[in-house]
Amino acid sequence: MTLTDSPKLQQQPEQPLPDVTATVAAAREASAWWAGLGYAERRRRTLAWKNAIANGAEELAEIISRETGKPVGDATLEIMLTLGHLDWAAKHARKVLKRRGVPAGAVAFNQKATLGYEPYGVVAVIGPWNYPLYTPMGSVGYAIAAGNAVVFKPSELTPDTAVWLAEAWTRANPEQPVLQVVTGGGEVGGALIRAGVDKVGFTGSTATAKKVMAACAEQLTPLVAECGGKDAMIVAADANLDLATDFAVFGGFGNSGQTCVGVERVYVVESVRRQFLDLLVEKARTLAPGTDESASYGRMTHPAGGDVVREHVQDALTRGGTAVLGGVDSVKAPFVEPIVLTDVPEDADAVCVETFGPTLVVNGVADLDEAVEKANATDYGLGASIFTRNHKLGERLAARLKAGAVTIDSVLGFAGVAALPFGGVGGSGFGRVHGPDGLREFSRAKSMTVQRFKAPLDLLRIDRSERDMKIAKSMLHSLHGSRK
Ligand code: NAD
């Protein structure tokens, strides 16, 4: 079972559907105003919005904490990371997207060729609940910095975070609703996609991404899909095990395991497996989920989160896996205590399907080749991590991993590097947020040529001369052929 299969969310009281058509119409008007302001003014205003978010960070952290159940400290870090990205996007939009000259090449040397990036217009962003600010802002912030207006449909579990974010926009930039929020569940998301938006930025589960893509297909609306993961950590025999277990604890149990690029599987070389497990269990044993600031992490945000963990753990144990810390009884809804499993068959859900809870499967491998093969064996391909003191070897292994991002000797190392794009492969989605690719993701490339003078070799005409065709033929061979 995955969270998306769970009927639990549908038990929430019905809300009247928002008028997404009117919202998109207002966004359309705002997008023309915003695009017309130009790079410098948009930068100034995006940074003013950033200041407004920073100035209200304490209040926002409380809202995020209340909606998700994560400690306020975790929510504060989420805000800090988000603002780093927003700052980068605001300050780099011009450099990445402005029109620039490109070489025209030998045949078209009489043309001045330029490439520029233009905003799409209205971008719909549909977000998840686990990082209700950081994650959707990969699309919201970069789309706005690239000159678009945004209509944001947050998760039904975290509407207040989104509403606060849009109010911060209005405080900083009251003239036009460049950022608007519509709240509700999947039906509101579907209506928004069909309301004539120009691009969709979706973050959520792989199963929902397929429905979103089908809705986008109706009007050929382009989509960036940031989906789930089942990230593997690979531990080599020469790894610093203290470091590796620190990061396994952080990546596996932080945010109650509800991190798309959290660690769900560990492949550790057999010769150090026992030592790795002992250290990991010693550290994980000290963790306690709860509601106050001293808690290691909070509750399961999704009402069905504990059920998925229980099912995956039960299945792993039935199939011959061993629990070295916790087990089925660790699920004490809405909290789940840390669970460490080992010797779990590779086709069990706990190894192949996103669990999204504080569980780690630690399986032994004979060598690093086997580790890479197993890490690559799921449908997902979001992130991965490698622990080895030989960083050159780590980089060679990283190149072989099916993942959008790989960290060596840390986990989540890329999340705070605004210049690095983020996104998955395979079942983890396509397209990129963050970095220059993230700005281009929310822009259309527009090519332009200006004929500066008539070419001596005049090929762009119907009545080409025999002489010009003779020269063209000989150029074809001299430029592209192997004949001397
Ligand atoms: P989800 O797929 O259940 O929902 C995501 C969003 O889609 C929600 O806003 C939901 O209301 C909306 N939605 C649902 N059905 C829809 C439909 N038919 N049409 C349009 N919108 C619809 O995911 P979730 O439970 O909110 O989030 C958890 C998932 O998100 C996990 O799989 C996690 O790995 C993934 N995630 C991925 C990233 C990433 O960047 N790759 C980041 C965070 C979370």
Three-class SS of 329-391: HHEECCEECCEEEECCCCCCHHHHCCCCCCEEEEEEECCHHHHHHHHCCCCCCCEEEEECCCH
The answer, yes or no, to whether any atom of ligand 1 lies below 6 A from the CB of 3, is yes
Q: Supply the pLDDT for residue 17.
A: 80
- Name which residue sits closest to atom 21 of ligand 1, judged by CA: 189
Task: Give CA separation, 265 vs 43, 154, 356, 390, in Å.
Answer: 41, 29, 12, 21
Determine the pLDDT at residue 293: 85
Q: pLDDT at position 337, please?
A: 98
pLDDT band at 28; cut points 50, 70, 90: very high
Atom 16 of ligand 1, nearest CA residue: 186
As a whole number, mean pLDDT of residues 150-171 equals: 98
Reported as a single tens digit per residue, the pLDDT across 31-60 is 999 999 999 999 999 999 999 999 999 999
Residue 9 has pLDDT above 70, yes or no: no
Mean pLDDT, all residues of the chain: 96
Per-residue pLDDT, 12:
54
Residue 475 pLDDT > 60, yes or no? yes
Q: Is the CB of 319 under 6 A from ligand 1?
A: no
pLDDT at 414: 93
Across 204-209, average pLDDT: 98
**Interval 138-158 mean pLDDT:** 98
C-alpha 79 – ligand 1 centre gap (Å): 20
Taking only the tens place, the pLDDT of each residue in 91-119 is 999 999 999 999 999 889 999 999 999 99
Ligand 1 atom having least distance to the Cα of 156:
11
- In the 8-state DSSP scheme, what is residue 16? P
Can you spell out the DSSP letters for 166-232? HHHHHHH--SS-SEEE---SHHHHHHHHTS--SEEEEES-HHHHHHHHHHHHHTT--EEEE-----E
Is the CB of 2 within 6 Å of ligand 1? no
**Residue with the nearest Cα to atom 34 of ligand 1?**
228
Which domains occur in the chain, in start order?
20-227+432-444 (3.40.605.10), 232-417 (3.40.309.10)
Q: How far apart are CA 150 and CA 152, in angstroms?
A: 6
Residue located nearest, by CA, to atom 13 of ligand 1 = 186
pLDDT at residue 14 greater than cutoff 70: no
Q: In the predicted model, what is the mean pLDDT of residues 403-408?
A: 98
First and final C-alpha spacing in the chain:
64
Q: Point out the residues that are catalytic.
A: 226, 260
Q: Return the ligand 1 atom nearest residue 155 CA.
A: 9
The percentage of the chain sitting over the pLDDT mark of 90, rounded to a whole number, equals 93
At 128 the pLDDT is 98
What is the maximum alpha-carbon separation in the chain? 85
414 Cβ closer than 6 Å to some ligand 1 atom: no
Q: Is residue 404 lining ligand 1, measured as CB closer than 6 Å?
A: no
- Residue 297, pLDDT > 50, answer yes
Atom of ligand 1 nearest to the CA of 422: 40
What is the position in ligand 1's atom list of the atom closest to the CA of 354?
A: 32
Query: Residue 203 Cα, ligand 1 centroid: separation in angstroms?
Result: 5
- The answer on pLDDT for 452 being more than 50 is yes
Q: How far is the CA of 227 from the centre of ligand 1 (A)?
A: 7
- Residue to mutate, 3, 78, 208, ligand 1, most ligand atoms under 8 Å from C-beta: 208
- Buried (b) or exposed (e) across 130-152, using 16+ Cβ within 10 A? bbbbbbbbbbbbbbbbbbbbbbb
Q: Categorize the per-residue pLDDT at 417 as very low, low, confident or very high, splitting at 50, 70 and 90.
A: very high
pLDDT level of residue 11 (50, 70, 90 thresholds): very low
| CB 135 near ligand 1, within 6 Å | yes
Task: Give the CA angle between residues 166, 167, 170 to the nearest 5°.
Answer: 95
pLDDT tops 90 at residue 16: no
What average pLDDT does range 451-474 have in this prediction? 94
Per-residue pLDDT at 10 exceeds 60: no
State whether the beta carbon of 260 lies less than 6 angstroms from ligand 1.
Answer: yes
